[in-house]
Structure 1
Amino acid sequence: MTTLEAVFGMASLLAIFSWIALFIFYPRKWIYQTLFSGTLIVLALTYLFYLYQGFGSPEDFNFDSLAKVRAAFQSDEALLAGWIHYLAFDLFVGMWISKDAWEKDINRWAVLPCLLFTFMMGPVGLLIYFIVRAIKTKQLNQSPYQ
């Protein structure tokens, strides 16, 4: 197994265990502290390392066309950085969903599909949560300050 495959596996496992812990312990403040100060920092540092490895020069950060984005992710290091980016940001969104659902007294089991879809398909899970949230709050307008 290559180092990149090992890092991919470890980052993915860390994310999966973080999601499970988030679902189980979401009404506890310590889970957010652990995920913010632990998991997200580890993922961010790992992302930064492989981002640097995968993109050698500032010219590699040219994302003004689909072809240039495709070219930017040709190296395995850049692809791994992209995967870790997804893991970190989807987890962050899942944390927001969980905290918001807890504050709005939305049933944990109604939130579970939102979290699963956020883990697997990011914005789709957030959209599902917005629908669940709108039904619970009886407000179509979605704001983090509601």
Structure 2
Amino acid sequence: MTLEAVFGMASTLAFFSWIALFIFYPRKWIYQTLFSGVFILMAITYGFYIIPALFNGGEGGFSTLSEVRLLFGSDEALLAGWIHYLAFDLFVGMWIAQDAWGKDISRWLVLPCLILTFMMGPVGLLLYFLVRASKIKRLNQSPYHP
């Protein structure tokens, strides 16, 4: 299978997972499906591409931006990085949906947060924190407090 095909399949899977998350977020089975199905599949695919990229003598590191750029010098490592983003942004979206459901925040207020989390990760999470703060009447937040 080509890297472009894997990229397309991973992106499509993530896209439809986000749609399902928004539609079915009050249902426990959606979290079980995403955790037990989508995340496992993404993690296996990520490992399949990142492990060889790490051990094939690739250059780079984490100390400078230039070193990080070198880490993604191969298409396999770049694909793995993309899958990494897809999986973790989806995880954050699942947390947002679950937390919003527990706090009785309207799904229509959560929708822009989920869209932004899908497209721009931390920006969507920040927006959700602001929506959440207005609901719980507290700017200082913790995932462990109502």
Superposition TM-score tier, normalisation by shorter sequence: over 0.9
Corresponding position of 2:96? 97
Deviation, 1:56, is: 2.3
Deviation, 1:110, is: 0.1
Deviation, 1:58, is: 7.5
Deviations 1:75-122 (A, max 9, x none): 000000000000000000000000000000000000000000000000
Q: Which runs of 5+ in 1 are unaligned?
A: none
Q: Identity of aligned pairs, percent? A: 72
* Native 8 Å contact 2:61 2:70 kept in 1: no
* Native 8 Å contact 1:113 1:125 kept in 2: yes
d(CA) in 2 for partners of 1:140, 1:38: 35
TM-score (norm 1): 0.95
Root mean square deviation of aligned Cα? 1.4
Corresponding position of 2:111? 112
Corresponding position of 2:67? 68
Q: Which runs of 5+ in 2 are unaligned?
A: none
TM-score (norm 2): 0.95
Q: Counterparts of 1:1-146 in structure 2 under 5 Å?
A: 3-57=2-56, 60=59, 62-146=61-145
d(CA) in 2 for partners of 1:61, 1:67: 8
Judged with a 3 Å threshold, the aligned counterparts in structure 2 of structure 1 residues 76 and 140 are, in CA distance, closer, same or farther, namely same
- Larger mean CA deviation between 61-70 and 116-125 belongs to 61-70
Q: Which runs of 4+ in 1 moved over 2 A?
A: 53-62
- The number of aligned residues is 145
